[in-house]
Structure 1
């Protein structure tokens, strides 16, 4: 007999038990290892190696402010923190924009996927070497909203079939004997024709998937990574992972080329707009300057003047500085008026101001305004008109425009004051030279207007040349550092790594399976598991029995089952420590746990010792002992007859030597209408009192405690309780129920017997040899 109070929770024993459990299920590990490593090997064979393709380019910047309208972009951008990140971050957004990837997909035709099926499981994706290609109108390809699949099969004898589907819905079918094949569907007409890579006389099983450009662009975006290799440098890196190296290189190079092409187009358009404005203003000033010169000529002729300059040389030398200041002020006033006229024109609402003049000492609102306009032009390339970001930027631009207009008004007012002051000084100067002829004073006034227009004309010509130089010397925004290149080694898992992972999975999955199976199982299967559920002593284990004879304990028989019952017989002595303790109550949780088998053979093993033993069937609600022991006597009365009648003697219900010598049996008798009352009556005490005088051991086959309460009525006459539980049959909750019964003292002196375990021979019945399993 064993008691597990001392070492049930020993960690080392748990580990050893767990290891033994895994060894017992070695076949699961073998199957999983073979399946996982085989799957890993098959995956390696079916999938091509994946390579990483990289590319890098430098975002160029103009470091000189004011050299052209774009030069001052974000150099001193006061709204930078509120409206977005730096230059490179903005360019990353442009490169990764949906429109950019859309154009790349369209240019390379990546919305078409070509797959050749070698056999049932092997397939290969083709890029630019497809044996059959698909052709359709460009309008149809641009307006496609759902992916279409075309299965093309060509046999060796030249029979060609084309099957078109949208998802699972069939939309077209064509069978012919030559290329090209024209297929008409609800989406339009598609033409399939062979290419230079088509091999005549060989069978072909090919699939073409035609996806919308938007969907293909989204798929590309998921597989491409655009990043900053170094935050301190204006370098943008691109990388993608592809099984086809050339496809990955073409994609990255195309994206960079499209980025540069769009940048050049944008710069050219900005320069052209500026050139148109400058030409318009220069034409106007040319006429005004011509009129001023004609006015001087007319004045000289009308007043017979020749060289007024010589005549007023002395005066001009004295007032040169004064005139220079007056001319500069009036020129500035004219420029301010031009800018004000430009801003008030609705057509120039979001156009660059072509002049960058200081309106204040500390900052230039015009420069800030131009920076915002450039920011809006860049943002328009990647967002729509109704974008929240664009709307927010428009509001800032409108506010800045109002600020510029207000600054212009203030500047004009300031210049007006200055001009008035200068005019007063001029009047004072003229008064000082009142002796000069009126013609000379009038000539000076006319000459001043001509000089102002001439300076403004030269200023615009200079701007026009600068803009022409910008237009002629445009360079790409992105300077390519590394064109797309691939790494030599694939980034996908190698064959050895895949096999190692498969082996690891083959070892881990069975452990997980067995662990989950163990924690989710509601029944125990081994003695070790039962020891974890209870502290009750275990008398022993009983193997399954496959023989037709229910009584396996007989004189001269040494089967594994018989020896196990002899071991239990020895252990029962630890429960019955007093000479007067003779009554052994045998019960279980539910029917089917082998209670009758155990108590019958246990009683027979006690009888083999030469002791007088009686087996009593006390399961009076469902008596089965008679059928189980195959007792043919039908005239004998049973326990219920004795309990119900005071006149019935003990000898009238005992079947002597029913199974073997020294073993008597009392059957349960007929099923009474009041079993609970009978078991609580005084006749029970009388029955067992008399039996104790005649027998050395009294074995009681009682009802299962998990089904009826009859057994609890017999606890008062029992000296020990043997509780039968069956491996892989008795629920763990039933063991907990037994623990509660013992804790509540409803059962007396309880010990367990495990039934239905595999028979393992040991000392005394085979010395280590294993016999066949026996089943009840």
Structure 2
């Protein structure tokens, strides 16, 4: 029949090797470790909560004026000049807020270098803002670091003790000084003045107040690390300033002081720039004023030297004069030409007696009058000549008079021509002078333009600097900060740490996780057999049954009861029933059964004794034979380990009476025993004796079952030698003892048929419930020690419980 037919078992409801039921069973079996661990962790958490100061968080919100995001509203004196643009970035302002320089000023302003504290049960309570005492160090420097304890006494005085600055010897540290409030005391850490404050109440009498003076650098670093500045939104310029501290008031004051110092620093920086700018502008105004005066004097000198008032008017006047002189010159030329024509006309004899052409436009009045009189005389002569002859005396007289007039006219014309010539030359001279002045005008204009340009530049620069000087003064007067406070420091009255609920929850989880982790780690590190499934996965030999773990039994190792309904008794009855389903090559069925195992302490003697007792209780005659000549496990368990009348005596030929070897077991009337006897020097050779074969054959005729308790198969060859005597080999595997890595060796024994009708029995399994009342499955927990027989097993199982067994499992310290 197949193994399934031999030993039907309920299907395992597992996922892998570990089920939730296994975990719950492990927790239930080791509940006290979980309780102890949880209690210790909760106690540690409570101590931590009781000894750790409460931390409170405070946050302020400010709006930084970022010029990139429309926040630049300041008046900048040189905002329109390249190189003087005043641009701000919120990221840069965040770094400035976190600068060491600003925090140093905050520490100085709030006096944060000196701390006061008292011991309040397990916790140290900071007295910031409520200190009953005030200590001033007379010789205080920025690098001073010291500590002392001030204790108010009932008589109103103050005791100074426990001095320390990191270098004092123990003798000076133990110095005690009693002073009055307000007195200056010379102490090992320097001169100090201790004063009472309004917060000193009778409750502080006799209470030591610890005073710690830190250096400015260390205090600055501590508070600088505690303050965090972050940009709330990259799209905006809002900055949050956060600080966590044991005293909420101190966190609020530090944040508010930091923002105030930051704004003051920004205003002071702008005013400092305004002062420097004003000084620069005034200096430039002086220089430019002097240069502008020089330019004005140059214009004055140029106008004076050229006798001009205005360059354009002078140019127009010169052009007008030149044109006038040229016109007058042309007029004079015309008059001279006309006068010469008349003169030539009069001198020409061909025109004698003719009228003189009149050119009144050019002739002088005198000449014109003479010409008029001459023409009238010519006309008169012509009338007279028409009525007379040239010999008329009157005509003669008139001719003489006309000749005189002609001469007079010629003289007047010559004089007039000379006068006109002089006037013409004068006009040409004036015209040339005007032309020279006109020719000199471009040079004068160029010089004037250069001077005017310098004047204009100087004037514009002078006016610009005057305007910027006023703007600078205005900037100084209305200088504003770079940030606007949206919310001053605020926060919840509840501490942000330590969070009691979270810490206690974590402590509880850790307290439960530690034993679970250790037990699970032990289970992971455990390479021993943990259940039937391990055997079925690695060994193809038939599985005959499993024996649950059991504590108790009598001194002979008998744990089954004839009418017992306990799991152990039922297990052996099931094992007895499964034996009948084994196919045996011999036609007479199973008569002799060999018990062996891989290593000692597998419990094969315990299984053999209790299975034999179960068969005897069923009415069978059973004989137990101790074939372990080396340790006499069966004989020792039954109290005859030192018996000299045993099987070895028969095999050695000392006795031939087989009946003398058989002894009643005292367990049941149907159960007898043959003890091993004296330990021989050659157990293996003795087991090869033919006398043993004859004895076994004879005993098979007399008993229903012959149980041969042999040695471990992997330790010595005795079990393999004894296999020839058996119809069935029950190979005992103990859960929690046999290493799973040895299962391939058992499989090899089965496949190589080293044992006849080999089958497996799993011993010492952990019991778990099944539908019909009980069952056997995997067991996680403490390791088992090896036992040889039930008595040893029980001792080992007791030792595996507790922390010693746990350590044995972790470090592999199994009993060999």
Q: TM-score w.r.t. structure 2 length? A: 0.65
SS in 1 for 2:485: strand
User: What are the equivalent positions in structure 2 for 1:103-502 lying under 5 Å apart?
Assistant: 103-119=105-121, 121-136=122-137, 140=141, 142-143=142-143, 150=148, 160=159, 162-165=161-164, 172-178=173-179, 182=185, 184-185=187-188, 193-200=195-202, 202-294=205-297, 303=305, 305=307, 307=309, 312=314, 314=316, 433-434=438-439, 450=455, 452-487=457-492, 491=496
1:582 aligns with 2:582: no
The aligned counterpart of 2:729 is: 721
Is 1:174–1:183's contact at 8 Å kept on the other side of the alignment? Answer: no
The aligned counterpart of 2:380 is: none
Report the CA distance shift for 1:707/1:444 in structure 2 as closer, same or farther (over 3 A).
Answer: closer
Is 2:547–2:568's contact at 8 Å kept on the other side of the alignment? Answer: no
C-alpha distance after superposition, 1:247-266 (max 9, x if no partner): 22112111111211221222
C-alpha distance after superposition, 1:696-716 (max 9, x if no partner): 212122223454343344344
The aligned counterpart of 1:698 is: 706
Is 1:50–1:242's contact at 8 Å kept on the other side of the alignment? Answer: yes
CA distance in structure 2 between the aligned counterparts of 1:671 and 1:168, rounded to whole angstroms: 79
SS in 2 for 1:484: strand
User: What are the equivalent positions in structure 2 for 1:20-169 lying under 5 Å apart?
Assistant: 20-31=25-36, 50-60=55-65, 61=67, 63=72, 67-69=76-78, 87-119=89-121, 121-136=122-137, 140=141, 142-143=142-143, 150=148, 160=159, 162-165=161-164
The aligned counterpart of 2:609 is: 600
The aligned counterpart of 1:710 is: 718
1:541 aligns with 2:548: yes
Report the CA distance shift for 1:763/1:56 in structure 2 as closer, same or farther (over 3 A).
Answer: closer
C-alpha distance after superposition, 1:128-174 (max 9, x if no partner): 2123344335753x225xx7654555676878463245789976233
C-alpha distance after superposition, 1:76-99 (max 9, x if no partner): 99xx9xxxxx71111112112333
Cα offset for 1:495?
6.3
Is 1:631–1:658's contact at 8 Å kept on the other side of the alignment? Answer: no
SS in 1 for 2:129: coil
CA distance in structure 2 between the aligned counterparts of 1:740 and 1:183, rounded to whole angstroms: 91
Report the CA distance shift for 1:16/1:486 in structure 2 as closer, same or farther (over 3 A).
Answer: same
Is 2:644–2:677's contact at 8 Å kept on the other side of the alignment? Answer: no
Is 2:303–2:309's contact at 8 Å kept on the other side of the alignment? Answer: no
Structure 1 gap segments, 5+ residues each: 81-85, 319-428, 766-773
The aligned counterpart of 2:329 is: none
CA distance in structure 1 between the aligned counterparts of 2:457 and 2:272, rounded to whole angstroms: 32
Is 1:59–1:479's contact at 8 Å kept on the other side of the alignment? Answer: yes
C-alpha distance after superposition, 1:491-515 (max 9, x if no partner): 4587666666666566655544543
Is 1:260–1:476's contact at 8 Å kept on the other side of the alignment? Answer: yes
The aligned counterpart of 1:614 is: 623
CA distance in structure 2 between the aligned counterparts of 1:448 and 1:757, rounded to whole angstroms: 114
Cα offset for 1:437?
12
SS in 2 for 1:94: helix
Cα offset for 1:483?
1.7
Cα offset for 1:466?
3.1
> Which of these residues, 17, 22, 25, is aligned with residue 17 of structure 1?
22
Cα offset for 1:22?
2.8
CA distance in structure 2 between the aligned counterparts of 1:584 and 1:632, rounded to whole angstroms: 22
Report the CA distance shift for 1:642/1:286 in structure 2 as closer, same or farther (over 3 A).
Answer: same
Cα offset for 1:199?
2.8
CA distance in structure 1 between the aligned counterparts of 2:650 and 2:111, rounded to whole angstroms: 99
User: What are the equivalent positions in structure 2 for 1:748-767 lying under 5 Å apart?
Assistant: 748-755=757-764
> Which of these residues, 660, 672, 678, is aligned with residue 664 of structure 1?
672
C-alpha distance after superposition, 1:477-534 (max 9, x if no partner): 1122222222466545876666666665666555445434433445678889999998
CA distance in structure 1 between the aligned counterparts of 2:99 and 2:288, rounded to whole angstroms: 44
CA distance in structure 1 between the aligned counterparts of 2:310 and 2:40, rounded to whole angstroms: 110
204-213 vs 309-318, greater mean Cα deviation: 309-318
Report the CA distance shift for 1:446/1:550 in structure 2 as closer, same or farther (over 3 A).
Answer: closer
C-alpha distance after superposition, 1:605-628 (max 9, x if no partner): 333444332222222233343333
C-alpha distance after superposition, 1:577-630 (max 9, x if no partner): 674322222234443444434423433333344433222222223334333322
Is 1:130–1:197's contact at 8 Å kept on the other side of the alignment? Answer: yes
Report the CA distance shift for 1:538/1:246 in structure 2 as closer, same or farther (over 3 A).
Answer: same
CA distance in structure 1 between the aligned counterparts of 2:62 and 2:496, rounded to whole angstroms: 23
283-292 vs 89-98, greater mean Cα deviation: 283-292
Cα offset for 1:101?
3.0
Cα offset for 1:127?
1.7
The aligned counterpart of 1:361 is: none
Q: How many residues align?
A: 643
C-alpha distance after superposition, 1:562-588 (max 9, x if no partner): 676555444544447674322222234
> Which of these residues, 661, 678, 681, is aligned with residue 654 of structure 1?
661
Q: TM-score w.r.t. structure 1 length? A: 0.68
SS in 2 for 1:266: helix
Report the CA distance shift for 1:239/1:71 in structure 2 as closer, same or farther (over 3 A).
Answer: farther
CA distance in structure 1 between the aligned counterparts of 2:165 and 2:694, rounded to whole angstroms: 89
The aligned counterpart of 1:415 is: none
CA distance in structure 2 between the aligned counterparts of 1:262 and 1:275, rounded to whole angstroms: 20
Cα offset for 1:29?
4.7
CA distance in structure 2 between the aligned counterparts of 1:216 and 1:617, rounded to whole angstroms: 85
CA distance in structure 2 between the aligned counterparts of 1:623 and 1:52, rounded to whole angstroms: 77
Is 2:311–2:445's contact at 8 Å kept on the other side of the alignment? Answer: no
SS in 2 for 1:591: coil
Is 1:615–1:663's contact at 8 Å kept on the other side of the alignment? Answer: yes
C-alpha distance after superposition, 1:220-240 (max 9, x if no partner): 344333122232222222123
Report the CA distance shift for 1:203/1:479 in structure 2 as closer, same or farther (over 3 A).
Answer: same
Is 1:551–1:601's contact at 8 Å kept on the other side of the alignment? Answer: yes
SS in 1 for 2:176: strand
Report the CA distance shift for 1:444/1:703 in structure 2 as closer, same or farther (over 3 A).
Answer: closer
Cα offset for 1:110?
3.5
CA distance in structure 2 between the aligned counterparts of 1:167 and 1:94, rounded to whole angstroms: 34
CA distance in structure 2 between the aligned counterparts of 1:219 and 1:289, rounded to whole angstroms: 59
SS in 2 for 1:434: helix
Cα offset for 1:734?
5.8
Report the CA distance shift for 1:438/1:493 in structure 2 as closer, same or farther (over 3 A).
Answer: closer
RMSD across aligned positions (CA): 5.0
